[in-house]
Structure 1
């Protein structure tokens, strides 16, 4: 994980931001001179991307700060907030573009297909370069994935605009411009939804996707463990799982209990990739309760 973080340094973000800012200016001018809604919408989208990249980088830097007395889990969720903001921003832009596209279908406008085509080719090349610059980090980081999705959607949009430019230039099929805009907008919303869902789940302390039956079975396989109950699992960010549980043991000495702790920690970290484990030892208290407590308020 740290290697990926190093690759996503300030220099990498600066390169992508500058590249996107240039694309924005070129596409905005191209959209004005050609009359293409898809180019103008892509220019607005690229402007949002530039702001998104800056926002993502700031969140990335904040997330690296050490934990403090007021933030005992650190600042990792800055990246989750950034991912949620970026994905929601994409959806809002997409809704706006669909509305504009529908309006254009009813009132088509004259479009210069050649200008549209040339600008779209330039935009595609630049967007593909930007996407490649952030592609590695997107595999391991929800914040980077949201930013990467911004750039990928721009690249796809530019390809669509190229197709539209060809059809308009050679067949005068101007209706393709708003149609491409709507297709790209729907695709962006489709791809944004999993990021929004995952971000909200993490912020709402939703349980990570673990095999809890297997965890229960494995913990009971430990010789000294008689019962496991009052289990909680949540995520600080998409890579950091926190797990707490009450376990019933025989009336052991503290040094012996510590050995059980170590075995539980090793099991959960090695097999289930759980970073932070908190165990509350008990003898008979709660021994008849369920793995997940669901009878009354637990917290």
Structure 2
């Protein structure tokens, strides 16, 4: 039985990324207060919808930061895998939270279609322009590290999508200014909902898959199996399992039946290849002699 070297496995949140989260949380929280206040004052459902979306993103940023910090705690006798799974659970919670929010916004938008009321397109436009600026700045904070962690990538995509949503509200404000088509406010609210669902559906599916210990997206189980069976000295591969310990670390267990002429120093090479070729940070490999497979199966 062998385990992957631990120097591959542990990721620490850089100080600059912690600052990015804190700045993003602060900027967006201030804007949520401004946008929600403006939405209530102007009675604009589009602004209130966007404010609700931005509030859920603030919560997502807070939970993502907390989860990443918690995931770095060392394993103990109660949690032998550590707390890495917290990042996955937070991603799932965030996706569910957004789906609930869009349901409430959608219900209100539909009810408003028969209740046309005057809206101030100028102020809607100005508030939304501020939203574009803040969301774009926040997205840029995560641009550098978005490819290293699912939560960071989620934060980046959320902020980038929010900038586009705010652009949509700007357009609705301009339309209202020049046409007095007040119903466009409800239409934009529904479009915002579609954008949120489109951006959240993938996150919901992936976080649910990881929560159920499914094979993480981007990991080709077939390619891993083919790599292992083609190693000189390996006769058979069975009990191959791959799952996510966190949004950044993948784990693998496998049993390898060896030939009688197996190579020396086989395990270090396998561990290194699994890490660099397949992004497997933790690998536990059980080596079996030819003819011992039946004994292994009886232990399950």
Q: Please indicate the TM-score interval, normalised by the length of the shorter structure.
A: 0.7 to 0.9
1:240-263 superposed Cα distances (whole Å, 9 cap, x missing partner): 2212222222468xxx88722223
The answer to which of 191-200 and 51-60 deviates more is 51-60
The answer to which of 115-124 and 183-192 deviates more is 115-124
Please name the residue that 1:271 is paired with: 277
Change (3 A) 1:118 1:193: same
Please name the residue that 1:231 is paired with: 240
The one of 265, 286, 291 equivalent to 1:280 is 286
Q: Distance in 2 between matches of 1:138 and 1:214?
A: 25
The answer to which of 151-160 and 196-205 deviates more is 151-160
Number of equivalences? 289
The one of 79, 87, 100 equivalent to 1:79 is 87
1:92-130 superposed Cα distances (whole Å, 9 cap, x missing partner): 111211111111112122111112122111222122212
Change (3 A) 1:226 1:185: same
Q: Distance in 1 between matches of 2:172 and 2:285?
A: 60
The answer to which of 209-218 and 25-34 deviates more is 209-218
Counterpart check, 1:259 vs 2:265: yes
The one of 220, 242, 257 equivalent to 2:229 is 220
1:160-205 superposed Cα distances (whole Å, 9 cap, x missing partner): 1110111101110111111111111111111111111111111111
Please name the residue that 1:246 is paired with: 255
SS at match of 1:139: coil
Q: Which has the higher contact order (CA 8 A, sep 6+)?
A: 2
Please name the residue that 1:25 is paired with: 33
1:133-170 superposed Cα distances (whole Å, 9 cap, x missing partner): 22333332222233334323332221111101111011
The answer to which of 38-47 and 243-252 deviates more is 243-252
Please name the residue that 2:6 is paired with: none
Unmatched 5+ residue regions in structure 2? 1-9
The answer to which of 87-96 and 66-75 deviates more is 66-75
- 1:174-193 matched pairs, under 5 angstroms: 174-193=182-201
The answer to whether the 8 Å contact 1:83/1:144 transfers is no
Unmatched 5+ residue regions in structure 1? none
The answer to whether the 8 Å contact 2:87/2:247 transfers is no
Q: Distance in 1 between matches of 2:269 and 2:55?
A: 52
With structure 1 as the length reference, what TM-score do the two structures score?
Answer: 0.86
SS at match of 1:215: helix
User: Considering only aligned residues, what root-mean-square deviation do their CA atoms show, in Å?
Assistant: 2.7
The answer to which of 238-247 and 106-115 deviates more is 238-247
Counterpart check, 1:88 vs 2:93: no
Q: Distance in 2 between matches of 1:211 and 1:52?
A: 29
SS at match of 1:228: strand
Q: Give, in angstroms, the shift of residue 2 of structure 1.
A: 5.3
SS at match of 1:248: strand
With structure 2 as the length reference, what TM-score do the two structures score?
Answer: 0.86
Once superposed, which parts of structure 1, at least 4 consecutive aligned residues long, lie more than 6 Å away?
none
Q: Distance in 2 between matches of 1:268 and 1:150?
A: 31
